[in-house]
Structures are given as structure tokens and as C-alpha cells.
Amino acid sequence: MSDSAREISPYLLEVVRNALDTIADELALIVMRTAYSSIVRDAMDFSTAVCDANGATLAQGLTTPLHLGSFFDAMANLVATQRDTVKEGDVFVFNDPYLAAGQHLPDIYIVRPVFIDGTIEAWTTTVAHHNDVGGIVPGSNSIGSTEIYQEGLRLPILKLIEAGRENRAIWDIISANVRLPDKVIGDLKAQLAACLIGEREIVDLFRRYGAPTLRRTFAMIHDYAERLTRAEFAEIPDGVYRFANHIDGIGENPEPIAFRVALTVKGDRVIVDWTGTSPQVRGGINSPVPFTKAAAYAAIRSVLGSEVPNAQGFTRAVSVHAPPGTIANPLPPAACGARGITGFRMIDCVMGALAQALPNRVPADGSGGSTLPSISGRQDGRPFVFVETVMGTSGGMPEHDGQEAITHVGANQSNIPIELIERDHPLRVERYALVPDSGGPGRFRGGLSMLREIRILADEAMISVRSDKRRFPPYGLQGGKPGTPSWNIINPGPRQRVLPVLMNEPVMLKRGDVFRHMLAGGGGHGPALSRDPALVLHDVIQERVTPRHARDAYGVIVRRKARVWVVDTAATQRLRARRMQRG
């Protein structure tokens, strides 16, 4: 603990910490309630944070962890390069991974300094995934891009507002370079409103407690987060835990992309090393290093038992090494517009390593984070762009089955309601369902795959998809089996067309075409033959598992008796005994 923090009582620490959390959540609510686009307003693909004078995160809104961990590098870069130019009333805007330590071009940061008596004491920050920022593919998530220049509008650190006066030139440049300027500008103004309200709340906090007290309290929050984190790390057995995973690859003839992590636990420190991971690729899935760090932070935070503050002090106990020139730390001008799939896969990879160290805390692999279909075209002479982050299912847990319709560790986001999709776009959602028999068998079953079928109502439309886990489906743990693979299909049936998991070129559709998007099913946890037959029966009754799958996957014989499903206990015991003898 720093000397200055020793004077602060633990009661004041909790009061201030909760006040900062509340402010960060208030920022998130303002963005959600005032945003124009469905990707921000309904899918909640945005994040908010409150930072101290040095740009170190003090509190984060309950939004997207893969964003939140990336604030650290972005704010450190902003403070280092802009501190001498900052004036009261300034607002900064940026998105570029190489020029501004951003994540990818659709994620635009809006950041406002908070001045107290002429001195910067804090920052209110937001980042939101915008519906479109230009580039060669509507939605600006081009997998086929080979360099960042193809991906859309690049914004270095700029003053969107300077000393309270708007820079109209920047607004005009943004409007001229995006396909949906009304929604992009509307979402930016939602971010501005949140930062302004956040500034007001932080000023009130300083008026109540004074700058000297709050500076010491902020330092104590970082120290407290670090201390809790190190205490938990000290309880993990020392060792090097390795895990490998793959992204299927890009295009019609994909080549697997390898992820190899070595997670070293040494005393009260953890080192995450991506040496051996594939080189950067000629496609839009490279992960800038701030995003790679955020993936490691999100995975590790998810297994901690303590109520660790969402403060940057947590990161002092974690080191992340990603060799330059790899997919986890690309060199410019590598494309990174669809880097989300890479961040999710890195989280899943770190979780696989953590499962070796903490087998009773880590679930089997899930559907792999949000997939991202993008459907665009024109209707009544106006462009439309539908982008959705589709969630999701988890793998089997050490103590219960995997769950459906939940978020991934890396993204606290939501599927867009059907009614809003159909209201805002010439699309009709014809099916939205769970897929029976898709959860990986295990003592605790993986969550079921989720399916959406969307019919095109415009004369024509263009579709691009970012998905994964077909060739390499979600892994099981502790003897559990993998889940089922993902699928993207045009016009399901005898003449269907199967699309790649990662499309390097968009596909044109016409009125009446149907797009089926099916997520992967979660992996199982523990041996399937040890699953309680009563749980299998319950799954059959709920139509999550068919009677045939109950027999084939679990060795459980379920029959109808007087129009009621029951377990044939004697037949089940004989079948399971035979299978266990065969090994």
C-alpha cells in the first residue's frame, strides 16, 4: 500500500469505490437509452469507464470486458501524447489501433477530461461499436481486408470539441465517410452526453470530499485491487499451464490458425505468453495488442473468487507477452476489423489453461462469443445495415449444465429482439430456436446451439458473416465431449449453400432468400456415462435431447409408458455396464 493511501479509512474507500461504480454504470445507461443504432442500443456493444488523472481505470460499467481491458492502453497513450494540450471543455475522439491504441475502426472512443480548480483529476470515457465506419464492406467488419486502409475511416486522437466549441470539420468528415451518418452521429452524441453527465457526477464527488482525499482514495483503490488479485494468485498451484486452440480459418478453403498459450503462475503473479501463436494473417481478424491484453484480463478475472474492484491495479499482477508480427500483436498496416473472433478465441484458450490449474472453477468451452452476421442493401432508396452480435451458449460447468442465451466472458451483450430487427430492416426472422442434441455430452451437458433464420424482404441484399467453431467445435473438459459445430446456410434444403465460417467476400442475396445462422453447441463437462439418468430424462421431456441421443450419448434408455417418458432403469444399467467394460 502506498503511504498516501494509509490515511484513508476502509469505509471511505468503499463509499468512493461504489460511487465510481455507480457513475460508470450511469454512463452505460445513458448510452443505452440515447443511442440510435440497434448494435449499441439493443445489442449493448459498448463500454464505459471512469479513469483517474493518469488515465488508469478506476471503475467500469457493466458492459463489454473485451472493451474494458483495452481502455488501459488507449488512455495511457492519450495522456502521454495529449496532456500538455488539454483544455477544460475538450472532448477527444479516436478509433485507430496503430495511431491511437484503439481496438478496431468500428469502436470509436469518446473521452472527456474532468477538471477541478484548473487541474485534470479524472476522465470519463466511452467506446461504442458503430454500425458502420465506411470501408469495403457495409458494417465495416471485413474479413477479406488485407490492410487497415481498406477497413474504413481512421481517426487518430482528435479534439471533437475544443474548449467547449465543436469542431464541425470532424463531424463533417465522419458523416461523409459512413453509410449511415444519422445513426453514427446519433451514437456519438449519446457517448458525448454520457461523458458530460459523468463529468458532472465526478465534480460533485470532488466537491464533497476534496481533491487531496480523493487522490489518495483513488491510489488506494488500485492498491486494493492489486492486493486482492495477488492473494488469489498465491493460492493457485505454481506451474506452467499450456493450451492450444484454433480458429477454423478464412474463406472457402480455410487454413487453421493456431493459438498457443503458456500461462505461468509464480507466487502472486501470472504471466500469459502467446509465443507459438500463428503469424498475423492477410485478413481482418488480427488482434491489436490492447485487445489481446483485454482477453487475458477477462479470462483471469472470471475465475477469481474475490470482489476485486474493476480498477487497473488488477493488471499489475498480470503480464501479457505477445510476439510482434503474430495474430495476437500484428504490425501495421495489418487489418483487424473482425478481430473480435480472435479475442474470444484467446479467452477460450486461456480458460483451457486455467482449467488445468483450477479444474473446479472453469467450464467447458462454449459457442465462442458473439458471431456477427451483417446484412446490408437498399430499401426505398435508402441504405440499411443490419449488424448483430449473436450470443450464445456456455459449456458444461463443474456443478451444472451449460446455459443457453447467455453472454460470453468477453462480451456482456444481448441479442437484438426480433420485433426491432423487423421494424428497422427489410428482414423477417422466421425461426429463433434451440437445437436439440447439440450440447456436448458430459456429466453436465453443454448448452444447446441457438439458431436464427432470417428471410430477405428487400429486392437484394449483401451478407457477410464472422463466425467460427465448425472444424474445431467447442472442447469438453474432464472427459466431456465436444459440442456440435456451427453452420451458415443459404436456403436450407436440398439445394442449400453452405457459407464459410469466416467469409472473405460478401455474398449477394435476393428477395425471399433465407439465411440460417446456427451457433456451435457447448462442450460437456465430465464423463457422459456418469450423468444422472434423471437429468437425461428431464432433457428428453423438455425436447433438449431426443430418446435416440439419450441412448447413444449417455447410455440411458428412455421409453414412453402410458404416454409419459420414463427411464428404463434395468436396461440403462446393462447398457452403461457394457460400455464401461469396453472403455
Q: Are residues 131 and 151 in the same domain?
A: yes
Helix (H, G, I), strand (E, B) or coil at 351: helix
Specify the pLDDT at position 62: 84
Instruction: Decide if 103 is inside a domain.
Output: yes
Q: Work out the end-to-end distance of the chain between its first and last CA atoms, rounded to an integer number of angstroms.
A: 55
Instruction: Decide if 111 is inside a domain.
Output: yes
Please, are residues 255 and 281 in contact by the beta-carbon 8 Å criterion? no
Instruction: Decide if 123 is inside a domain.
Output: yes
Tell me the per-residue pLDDT of 286-329, one tens digit each, with 9 for 90 and over: 999 999 999 999 999 999 988 899 899 999 999 999 999 999 99
Instruction: Decide if 319 is inside a domain.
Output: no
Q: Are residues 481 and 553 in the same domain?
A: no
Q: Are residues 574 and 450 in the same domain?
A: no
Q: Are residues 504 and 557 in the same domain?
A: no
Q: Are residues 126 and 218 in the same domain?
A: yes
Tell me the per-residue pLDDT of 243-273, one tens digit each, with 9 for 90 and over: 999 999 999 999 999 999 999 999 999 999 9
Question: Measured between alpha carbons, how far is residue 368 from residues 95, 190, 335, 447, 490 in Å?
Answer: 25, 30, 21, 12, 22
Specify the pLDDT at position 69: 83
Q: Which of 194, 226, 258 is the last residue of a domain?
A: 226
Tell me the per-residue pLDDT of 542-565, one tens digit each, with 9 for 90 and over: 999 999 999 999 999 999 998 899
Percentage, residues of the chain above pLDDT 90? 91
Host domain of residue 561:
532-582
Question: Measured between alpha carbons, how far is residue 1 from residues 7, 213, 216, 220, 222 in Å?
Answer: 11, 16, 11, 7, 9
Instruction: Decide if 259 is inside a domain.
Output: no
Q: Are residues 507 and 578 in the same domain?
A: no
Which of 308, 388, 288 lies closest to 42, judged by CA?
A: 388
Kindly report the number of other CB atoms within 10 A of residue 399's CB atom.
10
Specify the pLDDT at position 68: 80
Q: Which of 501, 527, 553 is the last residue of a domain?
A: 527
Q: Are residues 544 and 505 in the same domain?
A: no
> Quick one: cell of 260?
498457443
Structure confidence at residue 4 as a pLDDT band (50, 70, 90): very low
Q: What's the rounded Cα separation, in Å, for the pair 578 and 206?
A: 71
Tell me the per-residue pLDDT of 64-93, one tens digit each, with 9 for 90 and over: 888 888 888 999 999 999 989 999 999 999
Specify the pLDDT at position 3: 46
Structure confidence at residue 6 as a pLDDT band (50, 70, 90): low
Number of H helices, E strands in the chain: 13, 24
Q: Which helix (H) or strand (E) holds 143?
A: none
Helix (H, G, I), strand (E, B) or coil at 371: strand
Could you write out the DSSP letters of every residue in 66-106? Answer: HHHTTHHHHHHHHHHHHGGG--TT-EEEE--TTTSS-S-TT
Is residue 330 reached through a cis peptide bond, with omega within 30 degrees of 0 on the bond before it?
A: no
How many domains is the chain partitioned into structurally? 3
Instruction: Decide if 304 is inside a domain.
Output: no
Instruction: Decide if 82 is inside a domain.
Output: yes
Q: Output b/e per residue, 524-553; b: 16+ Cβ within 10 A.
A: bbbbbbebebebbbebbeeebbebebbbeb
Specify the pLDDT at position 305: 85
Q: Are residues 434 and 565 in the same domain?
A: no
Instruction: Decide if 542 is inside a domain.
Output: yes
Burial class (CB in 10 A: 0-12, 13-18, 19+), 567: middle
Q: Are residues 422 and 557 in the same domain?
A: no
Q: Are residues 382 and 463 in the same domain?
A: yes
State the chain's mean pLDDT as an integer. 95
Q: Are residues 93 and 109 in the same domain?
A: yes
Tell me the per-residue pLDDT of 91-118, one tens digit each, with 9 for 90 and over: 999 999 999 999 999 999 999 999 999 9
Q: What's the rounded Cα separation, in Å, for the pair 219 and 417?
A: 42
Q: What is the spatial order of strands in the sheet that 239-247 belongs to?
A: 239-247, 257-266, 269-273, 318-321
Mean pLDDT of 436-460: 97
Specify the pLDDT at position 203: 98
Mean pLDDT of 11-39: 96
Residue 216 has pLDDT above 90, yes or no: yes
The pTM of the full predicted model, rounded to 2 decimals, is 0.94
Q: Are residues 505 and 567 in the same domain?
A: no
Q: Which of 527, 543, 568 is the last residue of a domain?
A: 527
